[in-house]
Every structure is written in structure tokens, then in C-alpha cells.
Amino acid sequence: MALGLETVGRKLLWSVALPGLLAAVLGIGYFWREAQRAAQDATQDEALVLTEFIGTHFRLPTPQGLPPHSPVAELLRSETRLLRATAELDIVSPDGRILWSSRPEEVGTRHPKAALLAESDQERSFSDAQATEVIRPLGGKDCAGCHVDAAMRPLGVLHLRVSEPVVHRELTEALGGGLVAVLVLGTMLIVATGVSLHLFLTRPLRRLTAAMRRAEEGDFLVRAEVRGTDEISRLGSAFNAMLARITSMKAEEIDTHRDLQVTKWKLSLKEELEERIAELALLFDVARSVNSTIELSELLSRITQLVPERLHIPHFSTMLVNADGVLEIKSTFPADPALDGMTFQIGEGACGRAAETHRAVYVPDVTDPSSVFARRALLPGHEAGALLCVPMVHMDSVLGVLNFRRPEVASFAPEELELLSAVADQVATAVKNAMLHAEAVKLTMTDPLTGVPNRRHLFARLELEVARAQRFGSPVSILMVDIDHFKKLNDAAGHRAGDETLRKVCDVLRARVRKVDTLARYGGEEFMLVLSQVSKDDAYDVAEKLRRAVAEAPQLAAPTQPGGHITVSIGVATIPTDASSQDTLVDCADAALYASKRGGRNRVTCYEAGMELHPGRERGLSRPNDPSSPTPSVAKA
């Protein structure tokens, strides 16, 4: 078993067994030391007593007839217990010779410690672990009765060496054996305790720890092994119950997480569906709004109000490609009359780039110097924020551009780009329909050759003017204009030259009438001009001005015509002077026109009563009592 302390069993083993063993060893050592000290003290005391005893017997008188100190010799030769304890006893002379010894063979030899003994002038004792030595000088007054000058000089030294008592050795051996026994017993106890702790504590805890580690790693199906009913077994049972509860909670968590994921997915689908529904609703509103009218101006007004409101766009503008092929601002939000009519070339700025590439152009920050569109903002005053320009494309043809701007940088999301592109497609379709409608209306109301209103539009306008004149009592005059000798022009120069002459005459007349007046093609080479709130005399002046303008226009020179120039004849009629209804007014103007033709052409004739009843008579060829009436400049046809 390793000596580490990484397990509870080892910690318990070393915390219990080792202190006990150490205490036993220390106790035995203490008792052994005290016994040794007591034995040394006893041996020393014994040696001192023995020395004193022997020294005093040297002073005993010697019986007659016996050698000197016979009592001492007899004592030393006895086999008393005291003498058996003496290991060495010597009487040494001052010069170091052994005078008497417990070992007769050493008598007369020099003592090994002669130098130490010669220096001793008083009693001394030495003790070690093996024996106790005592040195006692002999002589003095005690020996003066037998030895001469004994009081003056030492007679010798008594050297006694007493070995360690047998009981002391036995005690030491017993204590040593006890120490060994304690060590062996302690070792056996440590081994037994270690095995018991390993079997009943360390191994169960290790199995429980392994199960806990697997549970920590996420294996909640693991279970701890339970054996018995001790505390560790109860801990394992509690751990298994906890794992069972955790497993149940984990299963519930997994189910809850799965349900939560499904709920989140459904919620995201719901939110996405709501966004799509909102987008579809917006597209539907845009489509319904733009398709509810076919007037282009009203359509642009509705788009300008609807898109910023529904999409929360603070700045919006609509551009259309005008007749010159450039982008022209038609409407803005908020309304700014100063911006209406501003133009951008195709390819200029972000809007021009969108029209050029037929793709949306997004500028996250118009102030970014690295942007190719930073040199010119979309509109004056819009120097910051994000800009999105979406072209209105129909059948690969660019109709215009929708411009969206927010003051925040990078404020358009990718989803908004798709939505705004779809809005632009809807608007493009509606704008194209409005343009087609306007063109169709123009074709139905305008003469395609001259560009002026046709007969249908003429009579609709004339009906309004006649009704206004009848309601308010104001005059309204009409001029019936006919190109002189037009058939001869067609026969001589061809119908293409005749069509060109019609356009030129129309241009001359249109350039000299008011905006409130209506110039229309009546049919063939005839034109009619409706003059609102103009009297008969004023109408005559207008007609005369127009006649002279045509006769003097350099672009109307015609070699094939009589006089080498195109001329017109004009008839004038007025409500309420000449007629009271629309049809009568037209008939009167027509009769006056034919009167001008009969009068020689290139002249103006005002209607007079009875002129339509006598078309062959010469009356009404010019205004009566008018000295400035022009004379015909060409011959009659």
C-alpha cells in the first residue's frame, strides 16, 4: 500500500496508528533511560560504599604473625556477594606499579591508567553505561600507626571498577525486547488497520467516488454499489436516490427543452407569418391603392402618402423618366415644392445608378467618403443617413426610381430590400398602366398628326364653354379655320407634304393662342379654336392675327400654291350674338368660313344672319363698315 495521504483510510491510519506507535516507542525509551540512569546511580553508590568499606578495612590492625593488611586480603578473597560484583580492584603505588590486585597476575606490573591515578589527590568516581570507577588515595593520618611518614606522603591509590549490575543488564535487555515487541505489534496493528480501512472504507469510497465522477461527466444512469447498512452504504443509497431524481428531472428538462424548441419554432413561424402577412397586406394595399386610379398624378400622390406611412420611411420621393430620358422628381414626402422637377441623369448618383443597372442601390451611409455616391446626396438637405434607390422596371424598361431614406446609418434590413423591391414592381405596373391610359386618352382626345385635341375633345370642351356662357351670360366665340387650296397641295407635293403642312400650320396657330383657349382639329384641313369669354369683335381681331401669322410664316412657303405661300380662311361666330346653342354656333362658323372661301380665301369673315341660307351670295364677305377689311391676296379657286 502506498504511503500517500490521498485517501480517507490512509489519513485515518496515519492519524491514529502512527501517533500510538510513536507514543509507545517514546514511553519505552523514557523508561529505559530512567532505568539506565537509576542503575548507573546505584552502581556508583555501590562503588563508593565499597571503596569506603575497603578503605576503612585497610586501617584495621593486622593480627600477630599475619602479613600486612591480612584482613583486607581475607575480605577480598571471600566469596561474598559484594566481591562478586567487583570487576577490578587494584592498589597502585605512587609510581604506577600495581601493589595488589584482584587479578594476581597483574601484581608488579604498571597500571594502564598510572598517569590518571598519579594525578588523583582526592577521591573521584567515573560512571559510563558499562561500569563505575572509583579512585581513592591511600595514606595520611589513617595509616600513620603502621607506616612511617604516612601523614606526609601518599602510600598509593585504590582503584575500584565495578561493572554494571546484572539486574541492570536484564532490565535493559527486557526493555529492548519490549521495544522490539512494540514495534512488531505496532507494525501488525498498522497493517491490520490499513487492510480494514481499505476493505471497509477506502474501497467503498473509491467506488462511490467513481460513480460520482461519472455522474459529474453527465452519465446520470450510473448507480453506486450498495453493500451493507453502514454510513457509506446509506450515503450510496442517498446518492442513487439523488441520481434517480436528477435523471427524472433531466428527462423532464429534455422534454421541456424539446417542447420549448417546438414552441420557439412555432413562434418564429408565427412571427415570420405575421411579417409575411403584413408585407402581403402592404402589397395588397399598395396594389389596391394604385389600381384604384388610372390617373398618373393621382397615382403618384397616393403612392407618396401610402408608402412612407406604412413602412415608416421619413423621406421618400418618386422619380419618372421624362420625355428627355432623364429622371425627374414628380413627388416627395414630406412635400417640398422646391424639389419638384429636379432632374438626374441616368447613371448619376444612387438613383441614376439604379436606373442604369435595373437593380436596387443601397448606400448605408451617404456621408461615407469611400462610397461612390457620397459626392452628391439624393436631395438637398439629405446629407446623412441610409439611402435606398429601387428602380421601377416594366418589361425591361425603366419607368422611374423610388427613393427611400432614413436619417439612421445602415437602417434598412435585407428583408426590407425584398419588400421595397416588390413594392416598386407593383408601383411600376400601376405607373405603366397609368401611362398607357394617359396615352390611350391622349389618342382618343388628341389628333395623332398635329398633337392638338381631336374633334371629340373639341366638342366636349365646347359643350362646357357653351354651358358656362349660357349660365353666366358671358360670350364664347369659335373660329373655323381652313387651309386654302389644300387639295391642290396634296395633288402636287403628295400627302406627306400635306401632313407636314398641317403640323406647321397647327404649330403657328398654337403658338399664338391663350392657354385657356382650345385649338383642335375639326377634320381634314380644318381647325377650330374655342375662345372663352371673347366677344365677336375681339374674336375677329384674333382671327385676323392668326391669318396674318400663317400668311407671313416663312416655314409655310409653298411653291405649288397660288401666291407661293400657305394661307388660311377663317369664319367667326359668337354666342349669344349669332347663336344660342352649340350646334347652331358651329353651323354659323362654318357658314362664315364658306363665305370667306367664296370671297377669295385668305380672309376672315364674321357670321351674319341668313348667311347659311344663301351660301352663293356675296354678303358677309367682310365685316360691314370696316375700312380695314383686308382684300383677298389670292385669286379665287
Q: Where are the domains of the chain?
A: 9-170, 220-292, 300-427, 447-606
CB 376 within 8 A of CB 348: yes
CATH 3.30.450.40 is held by the domain 300-427: yes
CB 555 within 8 A of CB 500: no
pLDDT of residue 191: 81
pLDDT of residue 250: 81
Cell numbers that stand for 349 in this block? 448618383
Give the residues across from 480 on adjacent strands: 528, 571
Mean pLDDT of successive 10-residue segments in the chain (637 residues)? Answer: 51 68 75 72 72 69 69 62 59 77 75 70 70 75 63 68 65 73 78 77 81 80 79 83 85 88 86 76 73 79 83 88 90 85 87 90 81 52 78 91 88 83 86 83 81 88 91 93 91 88 92 91 92 93 94 88 90 92 92 91 90 52 37 29
Cell numbers that stand for 625 in this block? 363698315
pLDDT of residue 372: 58
pLDDT of residue 635: 26
CB 568 within 8 A of CB 603: no
d(CA 41, CA 274): 111
Counting beta carbons within 10 angstroms of the beta carbon of residue 428, is it exposed (0 to 12), middle (13 to 18) or buried (19 or more)?
A: buried
Angle subtended at Cα 312 by Cα 308 and Cα 317, rounded to the nearest 5 degrees: 30
DSSP, res 129 = S
pLDDT of residue 426: 83
Q: How many helices (H) and strands (E) does the chain have?
A: 15, 16
DSSP, res 143 = G
* Identical fold, 9-170 and 300-427: yes
CATH 3.30.450.20 is held by the domain 9-170: yes
The helix (run of H) or strand (run of E) holding residue 252 is: helix 231-291
Q: In this structure, how many other beta carbons lie within 10 angstroms of the beta carbon of residue 96?
A: 17
pLDDT of residue 538: 94
Counting beta carbons within 10 angstroms of the beta carbon of residue 620, is it exposed (0 to 12), middle (13 to 18) or buried (19 or more)?
A: buried
Class of domain 447-606: alpha beta
Nearest to 565 by CA among 504, 631, 509: 504
Instruction: Write the CA distances from 398 to 293, 354, 425, integer angstroms.
Output: 21, 9, 11
pLDDT of residue 616: 42
Angle subtended at Cα 66 by Cα 64 and Cα 72, rounded to the nearest 5 degrees: 115
Phi (first) and psi of residue 578, to 5 degrees: -105, -25
Give the residues across from 237 on adjacent strands: none
DSSP, res 563 = G
d(CA 189, CA 507): 134
In one-letter notation, the amino acid at residue 436 is L
Q: In this structure, how many other beta carbons lie within 10 angstroms of the beta carbon of residue 544?
A: 18
Sign of the torsion angle spanned by Cα atoms 85, 91, 97, 101: negative
3-state class (DSSP) for residue 463:
helix
Helix 8-58 crosses helix 70-77 at what angle (to 10 degrees)? 150
Bond before 334 cis per omega within 30 degrees: yes
3-state class (DSSP) for residue 82:
helix
d(CA 523, CA 509): 16
Nearest to 50 by CA among 85, 98, 91: 85
Question: Which ranges in 292-330 belong to alpha helices (H)?
Answer: 296-311
Nearest to 58 by CA among 91, 27, 20: 91
pLDDT of residue 167: 55
